[in-house]
Structure formats: structure tokens, C-alpha cells
Amino acid sequence: MKIAVLDWDTVSVDGDISCSEIEKFGEVKFFPLTKPEETVKNIADSETVLCNKVLITREVIDKCPNIKYIGVFATGFNNIDIEYAREKNITVCNADSYSTDAVAQQVFAYILDRFSRIRDYDTAVKNNEWINSPTFSYFPIPTAELSGKNLSIIGYGSIGKKVAEIGRAFGMNIIISTRAKPENCPYEVTDVSTAVKKADILTFHCPLTEKTKGMINKDLLNLMKPSAVLINTSRGGVVNEYDLADALNNNKISFAYLDVLEREPMSPDTPLRNAKNCIITPHTAWAARETRERLVNIVCDNIKSWLDGKPQNKVN
């Protein structure tokens, strides 16, 4: 079987992830990255295509008639023309739930950054403020306990559930808003507006759909407490970046932590680049080495299941 891996550099950094398991399936061509104009050439006569963010459009599928299987190195698959792939009997499989622990960990890295203020106190110490303090304990920067805070979670998939579990361990009040009411949920379940109004911390773990696109907008932000913190590790398109920048710059909310933006890599023109009290990380929540190793293993398991005639994680 001929396999084309179109953007291996989005999975492995300096060879830190082994590609040997993929190579067991046949003749593999690894491309560090693939520009749109290179996609057809790089796929050539491959039967299996593995990619992360490369667009596999109707035009690409028509020009590469040997494709039988597309594997995605991600949970999201917006880059694939799913309907046309189904029409052409091409199986498309994603990698579900591989990043749950890593993303939930990063959510709490953000939360602890805001409420424990470690970076700010480290800066104060390095600026000799503790050396010059008249008291043994120097605490001019307000900190706060997480216990008793309202953690509102929009989306209750595997990551949302993990964030809730960790929040409960900190003694937080967990509030869930999700598309369909979950069974046997041990937390308060309510509508989006109520969850937003109650939130001390509002974190998003929903897919990007027509309904969720731009849902973090002026109307939603106006419902938030001025002291509230917003976190988005889901998809950049969930945020109206101009509305969020305006809310931050005008103190309508206190802080935002973002791991995803509408355009990636980040556009120099994004209004969030210089927004007040906005921390942006470059889509790293999923990037722990253990997470990426798990991702590759899931992608390989998907291929094996497809070859065995029992495809798993099939999205079309």
C-alpha cells in the first residue's frame, strides 16, 4: 500500500516521534509540510493519505483517484470534504480523545496562572521587591483560592469531562452547558446564558460548527462578570476576535487565555495580538510528547481497523 503523509512536521519535532509504526503498512512518503499547490503532486498515486491540516478538497480527490482512505492527525476534520469523500467511497477517520489529559492540564495551567500569580511574583522577586520588603511575606498582588469558584464548561465531551473532574478536585462549583443533556451528570447542567452569567472562569470545549462559529461575541461577553476569566482551547473560529479584544480593552471581562486563533499561524493583524490582559499560546495544548505519541498510535490503529474491514473513528 502506498501512503502519503502530507505534514509530518505538525506531529514530530526534530524526529522526536517515531514513524516506524506507519512504515509497517507499506511504502510511505513523508513530507514535512505540503503547500496547497503541492497536495496533488505529493499524494500522487497513494491509496492512503495521512494529514493534519492540509486541505483535501473535492478538486484534490478528483485529481487523486487512487485514494481509498484518509487519516487525520487530529480530532477536527474541517479540512476534509467529508461529504464528497463519502460519495467517492473514501473512508475518513479521525483521532478522537487523544489529547484529553494534555488539554485539560493546560486549562488548569491558565487558571493557576491567573489565580496564583506565579509569573508576577517571580518578576517581583527578580526586581528585588522581596529583598526590600519590611515583612517576611510580600503579597501586594492579589491571589485567590479556586475552591468555591464557579467553573462554567461549554461542551461536555472527553475534555470537558476531564476539566470538570479536575475542577471538582479543587473544590470548584462545576456548571455544564452542552448541546444534549448528559445522562447521570453529577454537576449542574444549564443553558449557555446561565452558565456564562454564573462563571468566574468560562472555558470552551465545543467543536467548530455553524452554531458555534463566533459564539464568543459581544452579546455573550456582555453577560460575563467583569471579574471573569475566559479560556478557549477548542477552535479559534468559536471567537469573534474583534468583540473579545474590545471586551478586554474596555474591562468588560478581566482576562482571556487562548490557545487557538481563527488564523493559524497567528496573523499579525489579529486584534487580540495587543489586547489588554490576553495571554496567547501557539496551539500547544495538545503538543506534549506523550500526547503526540498517543495520536500516532491511534492513527495507526485506525488504519489497521480499516484494513481489517472494521473501521473505527470513522467520521463519514
Which residues are identified as catalytic?
A: 235, 264, 283
* CA-to-CA separations, 161 to 114, 148, 253, in angstroms, rounded: 22, 19, 25
Instruction: Decide if 219 contacts 197 (C-beta within 8 A).
Output: no
Other CB atoms within 10 A of residue 122 CB = 10
Instruction: Decide if 131 contacts 141 (C-beta within 8 A).
Output: no
Distance CA 16, CA 34 (A): 20
Alpha-carbon Rg of the chain, whole angstroms? 22
Task: Name the DSSP class of 9.
Answer: G
262: which 3 cell numbers?
481563527
**85 closest CA partner among 59, 112, 104, 106:** 59
Other CB atoms within 10 A of residue 44 CB = 11
Distance CA 101, CA 152 (A): 18
